[in-house]
Structure 1
Amino acid sequence: MPTELEDVQRQTAAANRILTDLGLAVGVTSALGHASMRVPSEPNKFVVKGREYELDALSEMQADDMVVCDTEGFKVGGRPDLTQCSEIKIHSCIYKTQPQVNSVVHVHPRYTVLLSVLGVTIVPMCQEGAPLVRNPLKVYPHVKTIQTDEEGMDLATLMGSDKAILMQGHGAVTVGATLEESVTNMLQLEEQARMNYLAYSAAGRDYPKIPLDLVDAMSNRQPLHE
Protein backbone atom coordinates (compact mmCIF):
# COMPACT_ATOMS: atom_id res chain seq x y z
CA MET A 1 0.00 0.00 0.00
CA PRO A 2 1.60 3.31 -1.05
CA THR A 3 1.89 6.12 1.47
CA GLU A 4 0.03 9.39 0.97
CA LEU A 5 3.22 11.10 -0.20
CA GLU A 6 4.01 8.32 -2.66
CA ASP A 7 0.50 8.60 -4.08
CA VAL A 8 0.84 12.38 -4.48
CA GLN A 9 4.18 11.87 -6.23
CA ARG A 10 2.59 9.33 -8.58
CA GLN A 11 -0.33 11.63 -9.41
CA THR A 12 1.92 14.64 -9.93
CA ALA A 13 4.26 12.75 -12.25
CA ALA A 14 1.26 11.55 -14.27
CA ALA A 15 -0.04 15.12 -14.55
CA ASN A 16 3.30 16.29 -15.95
CA ARG A 17 3.23 13.52 -18.55
CA ILE A 18 -0.38 14.33 -19.43
CA LEU A 19 0.58 17.95 -20.14
CA THR A 20 2.80 16.60 -22.91
CA ASP A 21 0.10 14.21 -24.14
CA LEU A 22 -2.28 17.18 -24.41
CA GLY A 23 0.23 19.13 -26.52
CA LEU A 24 0.90 21.70 -23.81
CA ALA A 25 4.60 20.88 -23.38
CA VAL A 26 5.99 19.63 -26.69
CA GLY A 27 8.74 20.56 -29.14
CA VAL A 28 10.80 23.48 -27.89
CA THR A 29 8.66 23.60 -24.73
CA SER A 30 8.94 19.89 -23.90
CA ALA A 31 11.03 20.59 -20.80
CA LEU A 32 9.37 23.89 -19.88
CA GLY A 33 6.73 23.85 -17.20
CA HIS A 34 5.64 21.90 -14.18
CA ALA A 35 2.56 20.61 -12.39
CA SER A 36 2.36 20.44 -8.61
CA MET A 37 0.01 19.10 -5.95
CA ARG A 38 -0.35 20.01 -2.29
CA VAL A 39 0.15 17.19 0.24
CA PRO A 40 -3.32 16.79 1.84
CA SER A 41 -2.17 16.01 5.39
CA GLU A 42 0.67 18.57 5.30
CA PRO A 43 -0.74 21.66 3.54
CA ASN A 44 2.52 23.57 3.92
CA LYS A 45 4.18 21.05 1.57
CA PHE A 46 3.67 20.20 -2.09
CA VAL A 47 5.09 17.85 -4.71
CA VAL A 48 6.42 19.24 -7.99
CA LYS A 49 8.65 18.43 -10.96
CA GLY A 50 12.22 19.40 -10.17
CA ARG A 51 15.32 19.77 -12.36
CA GLU A 52 18.83 18.36 -12.90
CA TYR A 53 17.44 15.29 -14.70
CA GLU A 54 19.50 13.40 -17.26
CA LEU A 55 16.59 13.91 -19.64
CA ASP A 56 14.54 16.94 -18.58
CA ALA A 57 11.23 16.47 -20.38
CA LEU A 58 7.77 16.39 -18.86
CA SER A 59 6.98 13.27 -20.88
CA GLU A 60 9.65 11.32 -18.98
CA MET A 61 8.55 12.15 -15.45
CA GLN A 62 7.94 9.31 -12.99
CA ALA A 63 7.00 9.34 -9.30
CA ASP A 64 10.65 9.07 -8.24
CA ASP A 65 11.45 12.20 -10.25
CA MET A 66 9.19 14.42 -8.12
CA VAL A 67 10.56 16.59 -5.31
CA VAL A 68 8.83 17.82 -2.15
CA CYS A 69 8.96 21.53 -1.32
CA ASP A 70 7.51 23.76 1.38
CA THR A 71 5.55 26.97 0.91
CA GLU A 72 8.77 28.97 1.23
CA GLY A 73 10.06 27.22 -1.89
CA PHE A 74 12.70 25.09 -0.16
CA LYS A 75 13.20 21.47 -1.14
CA VAL A 76 12.37 19.22 1.84
CA GLY A 77 12.18 15.80 0.20
CA GLY A 78 12.94 13.77 -2.89
CA ARG A 79 16.03 12.35 -4.53
CA PRO A 80 19.27 14.02 -3.39
CA ASP A 81 20.46 14.50 -6.98
CA LEU A 82 17.48 16.70 -7.83
CA THR A 83 16.70 20.32 -7.00
CA GLN A 84 13.47 22.29 -7.07
CA CYS A 85 12.43 23.83 -10.40
CA SER A 86 13.77 27.30 -11.17
CA GLU A 87 10.30 28.86 -10.96
CA ILE A 88 9.38 27.20 -7.69
CA LYS A 89 8.17 30.58 -6.39
CA ILE A 90 5.16 30.40 -8.74
CA HIS A 91 3.96 27.38 -6.82
CA SER A 92 5.07 28.24 -3.29
CA CYS A 93 3.64 31.77 -3.30
CA ILE A 94 0.27 30.64 -4.67
CA TYR A 95 0.03 27.84 -2.09
CA LYS A 96 1.00 30.27 0.66
CA THR A 97 -1.61 32.89 -0.26
CA GLN A 98 -4.46 30.72 -1.58
CA PRO A 99 -5.28 27.91 0.88
CA GLN A 100 -8.15 26.67 -1.31
CA VAL A 101 -5.69 25.84 -4.11
CA ASN A 102 -4.42 22.26 -4.07
CA SER A 103 -2.74 22.15 -7.47
CA VAL A 104 -0.80 24.53 -9.73
CA VAL A 105 0.19 24.14 -13.39
CA HIS A 106 2.63 26.34 -15.31
CA VAL A 107 3.46 25.73 -18.98
CA HIS A 108 4.20 27.78 -22.10
CA PRO A 109 1.19 27.10 -24.38
CA ARG A 110 1.80 28.62 -27.80
CA TYR A 111 -1.57 30.25 -28.62
CA THR A 112 -1.94 31.62 -25.10
CA VAL A 113 1.54 33.13 -25.23
CA LEU A 114 0.91 34.62 -28.67
CA LEU A 115 -2.31 36.37 -27.62
CA SER A 116 -0.65 37.71 -24.47
CA VAL A 117 1.88 39.48 -26.69
CA LEU A 118 -0.70 40.69 -29.21
CA GLY A 119 -2.78 42.14 -26.39
CA VAL A 120 -5.85 40.21 -27.52
CA THR A 121 -8.29 39.46 -24.69
CA ILE A 122 -9.22 35.78 -24.66
CA VAL A 123 -13.02 35.58 -24.74
CA PRO A 124 -15.41 32.61 -24.83
CA MET A 125 -15.44 31.13 -28.34
CA CYS A 126 -16.66 27.61 -27.54
CA GLN A 127 -18.24 25.70 -24.66
CA GLU A 128 -15.03 24.19 -23.35
CA GLY A 129 -13.56 26.56 -20.78
CA ALA A 130 -16.06 29.34 -21.42
CA PRO A 131 -16.54 30.10 -17.69
CA LEU A 132 -12.75 30.23 -17.26
CA VAL A 133 -12.44 33.14 -19.71
CA ARG A 134 -15.86 34.69 -19.09
CA ASN A 135 -14.10 37.69 -17.53
CA PRO A 136 -10.84 39.11 -18.94
CA LEU A 137 -7.84 37.26 -17.56
CA LYS A 138 -5.16 39.24 -15.79
CA VAL A 139 -1.74 39.47 -17.44
CA TYR A 140 1.55 39.44 -15.56
CA PRO A 141 3.35 42.14 -17.59
CA HIS A 142 6.80 40.63 -17.95
CA VAL A 143 8.51 37.84 -19.91
CA LYS A 144 11.02 37.05 -17.13
CA THR A 145 11.12 33.81 -15.19
CA ILE A 146 9.72 33.97 -11.65
CA GLN A 147 12.68 33.29 -9.37
CA THR A 148 12.43 35.52 -6.29
CA ASP A 149 9.99 35.84 -3.41
CA GLU A 150 9.05 39.32 -4.62
CA GLU A 151 8.31 38.11 -8.15
CA GLY A 152 6.36 35.13 -6.88
CA MET A 153 4.27 37.25 -4.54
CA ASP A 154 3.65 39.83 -7.29
CA LEU A 155 2.26 37.08 -9.52
CA ALA A 156 0.24 35.42 -6.75
CA THR A 157 -1.20 38.75 -5.59
CA LEU A 158 -2.19 39.77 -9.11
CA MET A 159 -3.79 36.38 -9.72
CA GLY A 160 -5.71 36.43 -6.44
CA SER A 161 -8.47 33.83 -6.36
CA ASP A 162 -8.68 33.56 -10.17
CA LYS A 163 -8.29 30.16 -11.81
CA ALA A 164 -5.86 31.36 -14.48
CA ILE A 165 -3.41 34.13 -15.25
CA LEU A 166 -1.40 34.94 -18.38
CA MET A 167 2.31 35.74 -18.34
CA GLN A 168 3.13 38.09 -21.21
CA GLY A 169 5.36 36.42 -23.78
CA HIS A 170 6.07 33.62 -21.32
CA GLY A 171 3.20 31.28 -20.49
CA ALA A 172 0.28 30.82 -18.16
CA VAL A 173 -0.58 29.53 -14.71
CA THR A 174 -3.75 27.66 -13.80
CA VAL A 175 -4.87 26.39 -10.42
CA GLY A 176 -7.52 24.10 -9.04
CA ALA A 177 -8.95 22.43 -5.99
CA THR A 178 -7.66 19.20 -7.54
CA LEU A 179 -4.85 18.19 -9.86
CA GLU A 180 -7.41 17.29 -12.51
CA GLU A 181 -8.96 20.76 -12.34
CA SER A 182 -5.70 22.65 -12.76
CA VAL A 183 -4.67 20.51 -15.76
CA THR A 184 -8.14 20.79 -17.32
CA ASN A 185 -8.10 24.56 -16.83
CA MET A 186 -4.81 24.80 -18.73
CA LEU A 187 -6.10 22.61 -21.56
CA GLN A 188 -9.29 24.65 -21.88
CA LEU A 189 -7.42 27.95 -21.65
CA GLU A 190 -5.21 26.97 -24.57
CA GLU A 191 -8.21 25.78 -26.60
CA GLN A 192 -9.99 29.10 -26.04
CA ALA A 193 -6.79 30.92 -27.03
CA ARG A 194 -6.52 28.82 -30.20
CA MET A 195 -10.14 29.55 -31.14
CA ASN A 196 -9.59 33.27 -30.49
CA TYR A 197 -6.49 33.26 -32.67
CA LEU A 198 -8.32 31.55 -35.53
CA ALA A 199 -11.19 34.05 -35.28
CA TYR A 200 -8.73 36.96 -35.13
CA SER A 201 -6.93 35.64 -38.22
CA ALA A 202 -10.18 35.14 -40.14
CA ALA A 203 -12.11 38.27 -39.20
CA GLY A 204 -9.69 40.78 -37.67
CA ARG A 205 -9.50 42.20 -34.16
CA ASP A 206 -13.26 42.86 -33.97
CA TYR A 207 -14.25 39.24 -34.60
CA PRO A 208 -17.67 38.04 -33.37
CA LYS A 209 -17.86 36.51 -29.89
CA ILE A 210 -20.35 34.42 -27.94
CA PRO A 211 -22.64 36.85 -26.06
CA LEU A 212 -21.91 36.77 -22.34
CA ASP A 213 -25.57 36.24 -21.44
CA LEU A 214 -25.44 32.95 -23.34
CA VAL A 215 -22.24 31.98 -21.55
CA ASP A 216 -23.90 32.73 -18.22
CA ALA A 217 -27.02 30.79 -19.15
CA MET A 218 -24.90 27.77 -20.02
CA SER A 219 -22.83 28.05 -16.84
CA ASN A 220 -25.90 28.36 -14.60
CA ARG A 221 -27.70 25.27 -15.90
CA GLN A 222 -28.31 22.61 -13.28
CA PRO A 223 -26.66 19.24 -13.97
CA LEU A 224 -28.95 16.32 -14.75
CA HIS A 225 -27.16 14.21 -12.14
CA GLU A 226 -25.49 15.30 -8.94
Structure 2
Amino acid sequence: MADQRPGTQDPADGTGGGADPAAGAAAGEALARAWDELVAAARRTVADGLVVGTSGNVSVRVGDTVLVTPSGVAYDRLTPQDAVGVDLEGRQVLGTLTPTSELPMHLAVYRTTSAAAVVHTHAVHATAVSTLVPELPLVHYMSAALGGPVRVAPYALYGSDELAGNMLRALEDRSGCLLQNHGTVTYGSTLEQAYDRTAQLEWMCRVWLTASALPDRAPSLLTTEQLGAVQEKLRGYGQRKG
Protein backbone atom coordinates (compact mmCIF):
# COMPACT_ATOMS: atom_id res chain seq x y z
CA MET A 1 0.00 0.00 0.00
CA ALA A 2 1.45 3.35 -0.98
CA ASP A 3 2.14 6.02 1.64
CA GLN A 4 -0.95 8.18 1.76
CA ARG A 5 -2.11 11.40 3.33
CA PRO A 6 -5.70 11.54 4.58
CA GLY A 7 -7.89 12.59 1.68
CA THR A 8 -5.76 11.02 -1.05
CA GLN A 9 -7.07 7.47 -0.80
CA ASP A 10 -7.72 5.20 -3.73
CA PRO A 11 -11.07 6.30 -5.26
CA ALA A 12 -12.25 2.70 -5.08
CA ASP A 13 -11.85 2.36 -1.32
CA GLY A 14 -14.86 4.46 -0.42
CA THR A 15 -12.99 6.99 1.75
CA GLY A 16 -11.97 9.48 -0.87
CA GLY A 17 -12.33 10.28 -4.55
CA GLY A 18 -14.90 8.07 -6.32
CA ALA A 19 -17.67 9.06 -8.69
CA ASP A 20 -18.45 12.25 -6.76
CA PRO A 21 -15.28 14.38 -6.50
CA ALA A 22 -16.93 16.84 -4.10
CA ALA A 23 -18.00 14.06 -1.74
CA GLY A 24 -14.56 12.48 -1.97
CA ALA A 25 -12.88 15.79 -1.16
CA ALA A 26 -15.17 16.34 1.83
CA ALA A 27 -14.46 12.85 3.14
CA GLY A 28 -10.74 13.41 2.73
CA GLU A 29 -10.91 16.73 4.57
CA ALA A 30 -12.84 15.08 7.42
CA LEU A 31 -10.16 12.40 7.75
CA ALA A 32 -7.38 14.99 7.68
CA ARG A 33 -9.03 17.08 10.41
CA ALA A 34 -9.68 14.00 12.53
CA TRP A 35 -6.07 12.86 12.19
CA ASP A 36 -4.77 16.27 13.28
CA GLU A 37 -7.07 16.17 16.32
CA LEU A 38 -5.99 12.61 17.13
CA VAL A 39 -2.29 13.52 17.02
CA ALA A 40 -2.89 16.57 19.22
CA ALA A 41 -4.75 14.41 21.77
CA ALA A 42 -2.03 11.74 21.73
CA ARG A 43 0.63 14.38 22.38
CA ARG A 44 -1.50 15.79 25.18
CA THR A 45 -1.56 12.41 26.95
CA VAL A 46 2.22 12.66 27.23
CA ALA A 47 2.21 16.33 28.24
CA ASP A 48 -0.43 15.68 30.92
CA GLY A 49 1.52 12.72 32.32
CA LEU A 50 -1.10 10.12 31.39
CA VAL A 51 1.38 8.02 29.42
CA VAL A 52 5.14 7.60 29.14
CA GLY A 53 6.85 7.30 25.77
CA THR A 54 4.67 5.52 23.24
CA SER A 55 2.41 3.75 25.74
CA GLY A 56 -1.33 4.29 25.49
CA ASN A 57 -3.21 5.00 22.27
CA VAL A 58 -5.98 7.11 20.78
CA SER A 59 -8.52 6.49 18.03
CA VAL A 60 -11.25 8.42 16.21
CA ARG A 61 -14.04 7.06 14.04
CA VAL A 62 -14.87 8.86 10.78
CA GLY A 63 -17.70 7.04 9.06
CA ASP A 64 -16.57 3.44 8.64
CA THR A 65 -12.89 4.34 9.04
CA VAL A 66 -11.14 4.22 12.41
CA LEU A 67 -8.03 6.37 12.63
CA VAL A 68 -5.58 5.06 15.24
CA THR A 69 -2.18 5.92 16.58
CA PRO A 70 0.54 3.66 15.13
CA SER A 71 2.46 1.13 17.18
CA GLY A 72 5.74 2.22 18.75
CA VAL A 73 6.04 5.67 17.14
CA ALA A 74 6.69 8.74 19.30
CA TYR A 75 3.70 11.06 19.03
CA ASP A 76 5.85 14.15 18.45
CA ARG A 77 7.13 12.52 15.23
CA LEU A 78 3.70 11.96 13.67
CA THR A 79 2.85 13.96 10.56
CA PRO A 80 -0.20 14.07 8.25
CA GLN A 81 1.57 11.54 6.02
CA ASP A 82 1.69 9.06 8.92
CA ALA A 83 -2.09 8.65 9.18
CA VAL A 84 -3.20 5.10 9.97
CA GLY A 85 -6.75 3.91 9.34
CA VAL A 86 -8.59 0.61 9.50
CA ASP A 87 -12.14 -0.51 8.81
CA LEU A 88 -14.37 -1.93 11.54
CA GLU A 89 -13.01 -5.42 10.84
CA GLY A 90 -9.45 -4.24 11.41
CA ARG A 91 -8.35 -4.27 7.77
CA GLN A 92 -5.91 -1.44 7.10
CA VAL A 93 -7.29 1.05 4.58
CA LEU A 94 -4.96 3.99 5.13
CA GLY A 95 -1.23 4.39 5.64
CA THR A 96 1.74 2.03 5.91
CA LEU A 97 2.57 2.20 9.63
CA THR A 98 1.37 -0.69 11.80
CA PRO A 99 -1.72 0.21 13.88
CA THR A 100 -1.56 0.19 17.67
CA SER A 101 -1.30 -3.24 19.28
CA GLU A 102 -4.47 -2.41 21.23
CA LEU A 103 -6.54 -2.28 18.05
CA PRO A 104 -8.85 -5.13 19.23
CA MET A 105 -9.83 -3.05 22.25
CA HIS A 106 -10.63 0.06 20.20
CA LEU A 107 -12.62 -1.86 17.59
CA ALA A 108 -14.59 -3.66 20.30
CA VAL A 109 -15.79 -0.29 21.61
CA TYR A 110 -16.82 0.96 18.16
CA ARG A 111 -18.67 -2.25 17.33
CA THR A 112 -20.75 -2.19 20.50
CA THR A 113 -21.31 1.51 21.24
CA SER A 114 -21.97 4.78 19.43
CA ALA A 115 -18.48 6.03 20.35
CA ALA A 116 -16.71 8.45 18.04
CA ALA A 117 -13.42 8.40 19.95
CA VAL A 118 -11.50 6.16 22.37
CA VAL A 119 -8.61 7.09 24.67
CA HIS A 120 -6.42 4.47 26.39
CA THR A 121 -3.75 5.52 28.89
CA HIS A 122 -1.37 4.12 31.47
CA ALA A 123 -2.15 6.91 33.97
CA VAL A 124 -0.24 6.41 37.23
CA HIS A 125 -3.00 6.79 39.84
CA ALA A 126 -5.62 4.94 37.81
CA THR A 127 -3.23 2.06 37.19
CA ALA A 128 -2.37 1.94 40.90
CA VAL A 129 -6.07 1.75 41.81
CA SER A 130 -6.56 -1.05 39.27
CA THR A 131 -4.20 -3.21 41.34
CA LEU A 132 -6.07 -2.65 44.61
CA VAL A 133 -9.83 -2.93 44.12
CA PRO A 134 -12.38 -4.45 41.69
CA GLU A 135 -14.17 -1.10 41.43
CA LEU A 136 -13.19 2.50 42.13
CA PRO A 137 -14.96 3.47 45.37
CA LEU A 138 -17.52 6.29 45.04
CA VAL A 139 -15.22 8.96 46.39
CA HIS A 140 -16.56 11.71 44.11
CA TYR A 141 -19.80 12.49 42.32
CA MET A 142 -18.10 12.76 38.92
CA SER A 143 -18.32 8.97 38.79
CA ALA A 144 -21.79 9.74 37.47
CA ALA A 145 -20.26 11.28 34.33
CA LEU A 146 -18.91 7.84 33.43
CA GLY A 147 -22.24 6.11 34.04
CA GLY A 148 -21.68 4.96 37.62
CA PRO A 149 -19.05 3.20 39.73
CA VAL A 150 -16.00 2.59 37.55
CA ARG A 151 -15.22 -1.12 37.28
CA VAL A 152 -11.85 -2.82 36.89
CA ALA A 153 -11.55 -5.25 33.98
CA PRO A 154 -9.60 -8.41 34.96
CA TYR A 155 -6.04 -8.60 33.68
CA ALA A 156 -5.30 -10.12 30.28
CA LEU A 157 -2.38 -9.88 27.86
CA TYR A 158 -2.22 -6.52 26.12
CA GLY A 159 -3.51 -6.49 22.57
CA SER A 160 -5.49 -9.69 23.09
CA ASP A 161 -9.11 -10.48 22.31
CA GLU A 162 -9.40 -11.63 25.92
CA LEU A 163 -8.51 -8.15 27.14
CA ALA A 164 -11.02 -6.59 24.73
CA GLY A 165 -13.72 -8.92 26.08
CA ASN A 166 -12.87 -8.15 29.71
CA MET A 167 -12.97 -4.46 28.92
CA LEU A 168 -16.41 -4.67 27.27
CA ARG A 169 -17.89 -6.35 30.33
CA ALA A 170 -16.43 -3.65 32.58
CA LEU A 171 -17.80 -0.96 30.25
CA GLU A 172 -21.39 -2.24 30.34
CA ASP A 173 -23.54 0.90 30.95
CA ARG A 174 -20.33 2.87 31.47
CA SER A 175 -18.17 5.16 29.34
CA GLY A 176 -14.92 4.32 31.11
CA CYS A 177 -13.19 1.55 33.03
CA LEU A 178 -9.90 0.55 34.56
CA LEU A 179 -7.77 -2.30 33.22
CA GLN A 180 -6.18 -4.33 35.99
CA ASN A 181 -2.40 -3.80 36.23
CA HIS A 182 -2.61 -1.86 32.97
CA GLY A 183 -4.43 1.48 32.73
CA THR A 184 -7.65 3.14 31.60
CA VAL A 185 -10.10 3.17 28.69
CA THR A 186 -12.71 5.84 28.07
CA TYR A 187 -14.84 6.73 25.08
CA GLY A 188 -17.11 9.56 24.01
CA SER A 189 -19.18 11.13 21.28
CA THR A 190 -16.21 13.42 20.59
CA LEU A 191 -12.48 13.14 21.15
CA GLU A 192 -12.68 16.04 23.59
CA GLN A 193 -15.30 14.21 25.64
CA ALA A 194 -13.32 10.96 25.66
CA TYR A 195 -10.21 12.81 26.79
CA ASP A 196 -12.07 14.70 29.49
CA ARG A 197 -13.42 11.42 30.86
CA THR A 198 -9.88 10.04 30.98
CA ALA A 199 -8.65 13.07 32.90
CA GLN A 200 -11.62 12.89 35.32
CA LEU A 201 -11.01 9.20 35.95
CA GLU A 202 -7.33 9.73 36.72
CA TRP A 203 -8.21 12.63 39.04
CA MET A 204 -10.78 10.56 40.97
CA CYS A 205 -8.27 7.75 41.37
CA ARG A 206 -5.74 10.22 42.73
CA VAL A 207 -8.30 11.60 45.20
CA TRP A 208 -9.15 8.12 46.50
CA LEU A 209 -5.52 7.08 46.85
CA THR A 210 -4.67 10.34 48.66
CA ALA A 211 -7.58 10.05 51.09
CA SER A 212 -6.96 6.34 51.69
CA ALA A 213 -3.32 6.96 52.54
CA LEU A 214 -4.07 8.69 55.85
CA PRO A 215 -3.46 6.37 58.82
CA ASP A 216 -6.49 5.24 60.83
CA ARG A 217 -8.87 7.14 58.56
CA ALA A 218 -11.19 6.02 55.77
CA PRO A 219 -12.62 8.36 53.13
CA SER A 220 -16.38 8.95 53.16
CA LEU A 221 -18.08 7.48 50.12
CA LEU A 222 -21.25 8.39 48.25
CA THR A 223 -24.24 6.08 48.14
CA THR A 224 -25.71 4.80 44.89
CA GLU A 225 -28.79 6.92 45.62
CA GLN A 226 -26.66 10.05 45.88
CA LEU A 227 -24.91 9.15 42.65
CA GLY A 228 -28.27 8.65 40.94
CA ALA A 229 -29.31 12.16 41.92
CA VAL A 230 -26.12 13.49 40.35
CA GLN A 231 -26.75 11.55 37.14
CA GLU A 232 -30.19 13.11 36.91
CA LYS A 233 -28.84 16.62 37.47
CA LEU A 234 -26.05 16.15 34.93
CA ARG A 235 -28.66 15.69 32.19
CA GLY A 236 -29.26 19.43 32.35
CA TYR A 237 -25.62 20.43 32.79
CA GLY A 238 -23.97 22.96 30.48
CA GLN A 239 -25.21 25.69 28.20
CA ARG A 240 -28.67 25.35 26.74
CA LYS A 241 -29.08 25.96 23.04
CA GLY A 242 -31.57 28.67 22.17
TM bucket (normalised to shorter chain) is: 0.7 to 0.9
The aligned residue for residue 30 of structure 1 is 53
- Tell me, yes or no, if the aligned pair for 2:147 and 2:175 is still in contact at 8 Å: no
Is 1:16 aligned to 2:42, yes or no?
Answer: yes
In 1, distance between residues paired with 2:166 and 2:135?
Answer: 21
Query: Which is bigger in relative contact order (C-alpha 8 A, separation at least 6)?
Result: 1
The aligned residue for residue 114 of structure 1 is 128
The residue identity in structure 1 corresponding to 2:137 is: V
The aligned residue for residue 188 of structure 1 is 200
Q: What is the CA RMSD across the aligned residues, in angstroms?
A: 2.5
The residue identity in structure 2 corresponding to 1:30 is: G
CA drift of 1:60 comes to 4.2
Counting only pairs closer than 5 Å after superposition, residues 89-108 of structure 1 correspond to structure 2 as: 89-98=104-113, 100-108=114-122
Cα separation, partners in 2 of 1:212 and 1:134, compared to 1, 3 Å: farther
The count of corresponding residues between Structure 1 and Structure 2 is: 212
The aligned residue for residue 22 of structure 2 is none
The residue identity in structure 1 corresponding to 2:103 is: I
Cα separation, partners in 2 of 1:136 and 1:161, compared to 1, 3 Å: closer
CA drift of 1:64 comes to 3.2
TM, length-normalised to structure 1: 0.82
The aligned residue for residue 174 of structure 2 is 162
Structure 2 residue runs of 5 or longer lacking an equivalent are 1-25
Cα separation, partners in 2 of 1:182 and 1:199, compared to 1, 3 Å: same
In 2, distance between residues paired with 1:62 and 1:85?
Answer: 16
User: What fraction of aligned residue pairs are identical, expressed as a percent?
Assistant: 25
Cα separation, partners in 2 of 1:224 and 1:151, compared to 1, 3 Å: closer
More strand by share: 1
In 2, distance between residues paired with 1:204 and 1:111?
Answer: 21
CA drift of 1:225 comes to 3.6
The superposition leaves residues 102-129 of structure 1 with CA deviations (integer Å, 9 ceiling, x where unpaired) of 11111111111111111164234446x3
The aligned residue for residue 8 of structure 2 is none
In 2, distance between residues paired with 1:160 and 1:91?
Answer: 15
The aligned residue for residue 103 of structure 2 is 88
Which structure is larger by alpha-carbon Rg, 1 or 2? 2
Is 1:47 aligned to 2:73, yes or no?
Answer: no
**Which of 203, 209, 212 pairs up with 1:200?**
212
In 1, distance between residues paired with 2:134 and 2:108?
Answer: 27
- Tell me, yes or no, if the aligned pair for 2:42 and 2:58 is still in contact at 8 Å: yes
TM, length-normalised to structure 2: 0.77
Structure 1 residue runs of 5 or longer lacking an equivalent are none
Cα separation, partners in 2 of 1:223 and 1:51, compared to 1, 3 Å: closer
Cα separation, partners in 2 of 1:163 and 1:204, compared to 1, 3 Å: farther
